[in-house]
Amino acid sequence: MANSVMATPAASVAPANPYVTAQRQFDQAASLLELDPGMRAVLRQVRREFTVNFPVRMDDGSIHVFTGYRVQHNLTRGPAKGGIRYHPQVSLDEVKALSMWMTWKCAVTNLPYGGAKGGVICDPSQLSQRELENLTRRFASEISLLIGPESDIPAPDVNTNQQTMAWIMDTISMEKGYSVPATVTGKPLSIGGSQGRPAATGRGVLVVTLGACRRLGWNPSECSVAIQGFGNVGSVSAELLDAEGFKVVAVSDVFGGIYNKDGFDVPALLQHQAKHGRVAGFAGAKEEISNSALLELPVTILVPAALENQFSMENAARVQAKLIVEAANGPTTPEADDIFHQRGIVVVPDILANAGGVTVSYFEWVQDLQSFFWEEEEINSRLTRIMERAYQQIDDLAQEHHTTLRMGAYCLAVKRVADATAVRGIYP
Ligand code: NAD
């Protein structure tokens, strides 16, 4: 490896509160839509927030109490839908923001769902498989008051996966006395999972990236891409973008990043990551870089696929990419968004860019309810149709309102939820 690219030191300001960000984005759309004040008040709050403190027996025999959350932002258009995250920095406000973004994401793609999210404050890298299973089963039992095929359907998110979903499905099924596969999505195929679900979010990222390139008149082979985060979403995005002719030149994970301006052999990189659990040390890398340096590389396209608040007032002016595709939820603060808009950097917003996952989760739920399963080809072509249509609709709205793609997406989503709320009326 050659010398490292130096990152500008991170600013010492506190990271933005994601719920404040989510509400500010909503307020902006509500103003554009001239939403009635009562409707505004209803939609800018989460409907239910549930905190659980629950004991887990650890491998050494001790008992540890964990804190977890399940939040439902909205249930007007159907059952609530949203992932479960395991991370040391999970907070109630983060889960509230993520639940609100789920409502808009489902509405943008016109899925018959509201929005929810869950999280447990924990560091999964410090837990054994047995402890993770105990934690997951007890958390599932604690939130079983809320979740179920007709009320609220969880899915994987950061640090959770097919195995986590299998444990949740089994726990709820044991409590019911019969199998309830439609309780969660993102399950293994053997218990009612869907073809195409593991790759769905990355596939959606590909569809909207191609849509943006068409709109901007770019050829994929002329575009270099940097991807932050190399988990489910980031690694699949890398694989599919590479296969479509984009040049993936930088990737990173929680341990750091790598860069080669000539592009990586992505299949070899995936093998390296699978073997070593990190991207660092890959033979095809020319430089090691930090996560913050990755965001400032001279690339055409940036794909944040890790966590919130990666672009802020502090670094937005130094971003050199011309297109940002938000595979992660909430990577851009409102201040950074304004800077990108002023600088002519196009941002495909999270509520569309990463909606491929929930779209195929919807297909999985439909298949489970009918006990009738589809071929992967059908899944992928339906996913592509939904994502392309949504992209076109938000692009049209952005142009009509002379605004960003994010506000185009919010206008489409918030209007759909507001219309549904108005026609249902206020109970009683
Ligand atoms: P994951 O746990 O599979 O992967 C997360 C990746 O981010 C890992 O490579 C990890 O090392 C890296 N990471 C963690 N902390 C980091 C940090 N501080 N700096 C840099 N990298 C860091 O999670 P995922 O499912 O791929 O989710 C990634 C993002 O995509 C999240 O914002 C999630 O909410 C969003 N998302 C996921 C799905 C899905 O289907 N899994 C769907 C929609 C949106």
Q: Which residue stretches of the chain have pLDDT < 50?
A: 1-12
Atom of ligand 1 nearest to the CA of 330: 32
Assess whether the region 49-191 and the region 200-353 belong to the same CATH fold: yes
Atom of ligand 1 nearest to the CA of 306: 7
Segment 4-30, tens digit of pLDDT: 333 333 334 578 899 999 999 999 999
Q: Whose CA is nearest to atom 36 of ligand 1?
A: 328
Please provide the DSSP assignment of 300-355 as one string: SEEEE-S-S--B-TTTGGG---SEEE--SSS-B-HHHHHHHHHTT-EEE-HHHHTT
Answer yes or no: 117 catalytic: yes
Asked whether 291 lines ligand 1 (CB < 6 A), one says yes
Contacts with 225 (C-beta within 8 Å, 6 or more apart), sequence order: 238, 241, 246, 247, 248, 249, 250, 299, 300, 301, 302, 303
What's the pLDDT score for residue 13? 58
Q: Does domain 49-191 have CATH number 3.40.50.10860?
A: yes
Which of 201, 230, 348 is the pocket-test mutation for ligand 1 (most atoms within 8 Å of CB)?
201
Q: Whose CA is nearest to atom 8 of ligand 1?
A: 231
Q: Does domain 200-353 have CATH number 3.30.70.2500?
A: no
**Residue 63, beta-bridge partner list:** 57
166 sits in which H/E element: helix 162-176
Segment 70-93, tens digit of pLDDT: 999 999 999 999 999 999 999 999
The Å distance, Cα 98 to ligand 1 centre, comes to: 13
Asked whether 231 lines ligand 1 (CB < 6 A), one says yes
What are the extents of the domains in the chain? Answer: 49-191, 200-353
The Å distance, Cα 320 to ligand 1 centre, comes to: 23
Three-state secondary structure call for residue 272: helix
Asked whether 201 lines ligand 1 (CB < 6 A), one says yes
What's the pLDDT score for residue 11? 39
Q: Whose CA is nearest to atom 30 of ligand 1?
A: 328
413 sits in which H/E element: helix 405-424
Q: Which of 81, 105, 117, 187 is catalytic?
A: 117
Report d(CA 189, CA 360) in Å as an integer. Answer: 13
Report d(CA 319, CA 335) in Å as an integer. Answer: 14
Query: 416, 409 in Cβ contact below 8 A?
Result: no
The model carries a pTM of 0.96
Asked whether 331 lines ligand 1 (CB < 6 A), one says no
Report d(CA 325, CA 352) in Å as an integer. Answer: 9
